[in-house]
Chain A
Amino acid sequence: MQNKSLNIGILIIGFLTIIAILAPLVSPFDPSVIDQDSLLMPPSLKHFLGTDTLGRDLFSRIVFGARISLGIGLVAVGIATLVGLILGAVAGFYGGRIDGLIMRFVDIMLCFPTFYLILAVAAILGPSIFNIMIIVGLTSWMGVARLVRGEILSLKEREFIQAEKSIGASNLRIIIRHLIPNAIGPVLVSATLGIGGAILLESGLSFLGLGVQPPTPSWGNILIESKSTLGVAWWITVFPGLAILTTILGFNLIAEGLKKKMGS
């Protein structure tokens, strides 16, 4: 059976990734060069998607913003998956008190409204791309941890784990080489979904001014600059919004395709 959603998703994300990597070649203008002769120009042949209040080319800004947004999404989810994988695997494998401790910590973390937690930390540490990656990563690992724990709980009772013990494999080796590879499927799905979420979080943060700081363009902070001119320049709001929408759609399609492919 053909996996349509996976293919379309990969197509979208592949396309966006290539654009992000080749940003300097793709964009017709420098994203932060101010052009006083063309303020708030509507989309035209010269500026595909128009210009913003400072006369910067919107298309170029969105293309460079893709680097930041995709980068944050990938790194943040990378951190979240790694932390979740380790804690979940340890909790699931050792059980008992260690499990209780880790899972209660997960519950506590889940009690915080994540967005406000991120806001508070961002306000304290100061907003920078690096900080945002870490903050978003460290506040979104709980789902992964629960998922992995559940998988490990059922996997560790399987016979081949007993067999691994019988050939003299250490616990660490069993977890890393035998349990995690068997549990990786659902984790992959949730990670792909998570990237979309992380990009959305970054946009939200940037929109509130606690994310990526101007003049570095990110999809979120292009949006915030657009809100004062929404009445006269619709394009500054619509196009970055569309970029976010497409990306998240792409990742969600991949996630759904992966889920289908693994038959769960």
Chain B
Amino acid sequence: MEVKNLKVEFFSNKSLVPVIDGATFFIKKDEILVLAGESGSGKTLTALSITKILPNNAIITAGSAKFMGVDLLTMDEKALTDIRGREIAYIFQEPTSYLNPVFTVGDQIAEVIMLHQNKNKLDAFNEVKELLSLVKIKDPQRVLSSYPHQLSGGMNQRVFLAMALACKPKLLIADEPTTALDVTIEAQILQLLLDLKKTMGFSLLFITHNLSIAKKIADRICVMCKGKIVEEGSVDKIFDTPEHFHTRELINAYEKIGRL
């Protein structure tokens, strides 16, 4: 996956306001790239832009996002829906609000399978059960017939992970997947994510503002600030010899909290 010079702009009072201004980065196969940065720096938007999931008033004005050699940004919508969920999957910040409240979670996981794999409902539901045990849910039968509001945030995030991994994607984009969870659950989910990555083998783009997580899991880190990627490098390089002042700020903040 290679993103080059990505530029996303928002319409505001008939003029265009750039929000992402030339983001360039790449993710190698089986690699964990952490995209770090403060709130509002454009991390989430960057991740969504890769498969063109954008709000109505946003447009991509420049750049390319090559996935296995093909530029996703010039692809038509129909081909993109085929990529989303199958090749590139997402998990999000607040799992409960990212699940449809009127369907059971089993229905929603089965939907991904039926969308991309041409399976009937029965086969899909059998697979859902396997997926739920894969993400270490103890009683899949009960969970799959529950509605999102009946499950805890941690449970829902596991459900979401099952949904994202249903079609064995090559790239998983995790947008602050643990920010809304408490610390113990956070640790569990992160461990689960790493374990699954090992067994299933996918690349991971992990978005976070939390450098302690970045330090633990990353192969490489990209630091984002005001819509630009200001620094990129290995974990050691970023932490030992930060070049950009914003990176230093983030590290300071992380160390300050560590001292408390």
Using CB atoms and an 8 Å cutoff, list the residues of chain A in contact with chain B: 95-96, 158-160, 162-171, 173, 177-178, 181-182
Contacts and interface: CB of A to CB of B under 8 A. Distances in A.
B97 A158 contact: yes
A177 to B, nearest CB: 8
Nearest to B47: A166
Interface in B133-178: 160, 163-164
Given A167-B111, A167-B115, A171-B77, 13 more contacts: A96-B56, A158-B97, A159-B92, A159-B98, A162-B53, A162-B92, A163-B98, A163-B99, A165-B53, A166-B85, A168-B84, A168-B112, A182-B100
B6 interface: no
Contacts of A171: 77
A170 B79 CA distance: 10
B90 A163 contact: yes
A158 B101 CA distance: 11
Interface size class of B (residues with CB under 8 A): 20 to 34
Given A167-B111, A167-B112, A160 B85 contact: no
A181 B97 contact: no
Given A95-B56, A96-B56, A170 B81 contact: yes
B116 interface: yes
Nearest to B93: A159
B94 A159 contact: yes
B183 interface: no
Nearest to B175: A166
Contacts of A177: 111
Contact of B100 (A96, A164, A166): A164
B97 to A, nearest CB: 5
B107 to A, nearest CB: 9
Contacts, number: 65
B209 interface: no
B82 interface: yes
A143 B111 CA distance: 32
A96 B56 CA distance: 9
Contacts of A168: 81-86, 112, 115-116
B51 interface: yes
B260 interface: no
Contacts of A169: 81, 85, 111, 115
A168 B108 CA distance: 12
A166 B111 contact: no
Nearest to A181: B102
Contacts of A166: 51, 53, 84-85, 89-90, 92
B101 A167 contact: no
Contacts of B85: 166-169
Nearest to B112: A167
Nearest to B90: A166
Given A95-B56, A162-B53, A167 B84 contact: yes
A14 B94 CA distance: 44
A10 to B, nearest CB: 23
Nearest to A158: B97
A184 to B, nearest CB: 9
A181 B103 CA distance: 9
